């Protein structure tokens, strides 16, 4: 497990998932808040994955060049960031266009059903 993650499970959960995950979460919200396209999350998460590998190496003595650790960490950060992006995008669509859309779950919205007026 340590070889695949490039660090201990405690470091992976505590540092990669919680601390770096929070950074990825906030990055996704920032991109969605400024109406940036979703694909821009990918280069940011690739860089966050590199920063994660460096900090795991510098602070916890993990291997710097662990390809599997970088891939697993980057995928986790990308998933967190994309989920955050979608949640914020759904919130903004409903908040900005309340006459057009309504929420249907934490990550989605749908067109509001307009009822015909009785005359």
Assign 2 a pLDDT band (cuts: 50, 70, 90).
Answer: low
Q: For residue range 81-102, what is the model confidence (pLDDT) as tens digits?
A: 999 999 999 999 999 999 899 9
6 within 8 A of 70, measured Cβ to Cβ: yes
Question: What is d(CA 95, CA 88) in angstroms, rounded to the nearest whole number?
Answer: 10
Longest dimension (CA), the chain: 75
Strand partners, 102: 110
SS3 72: helix
Instruction: Give the predicted TM-score (pTM) of the model.
Output: 0.87
3-state helix vs strand vs coil in the chain, percent to 5: 70, 5, 25
Closest C-alpha to 92, from 22, 23, 21, 29: 29
Q: What is the mean pLDDT of the chain?
A: 90
Asked whether residue 18 carries a pLDDT value surpassing 90, the answer given is yes
């Amino acid at each position: 497990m340590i070889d695949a993650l490039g660090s201990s499970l405690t470091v992976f959960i505590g540092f990669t998932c919680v601390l770096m995950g929070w950074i990825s979460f906030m990055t996704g919200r920032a991109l969605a808040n400024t109406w940036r396209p979703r694909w821009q999350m990918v280069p940011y998460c690739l860089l966050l994955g590199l920063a994660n590998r460096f900090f795991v190496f510098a602070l916890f003595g993990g291997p710097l060049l662990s390809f599997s650790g970088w891939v697993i960490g980057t995928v986790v950060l990308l998933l967190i960031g994309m989920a955050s992006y979608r949640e914020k995008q759904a919130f903004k669509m409903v908040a900005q266009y309340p006459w057009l859309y309504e929420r249907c779950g934490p990550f989605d919205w749908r067109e509001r059903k307009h009822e015909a007026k009785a005359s």
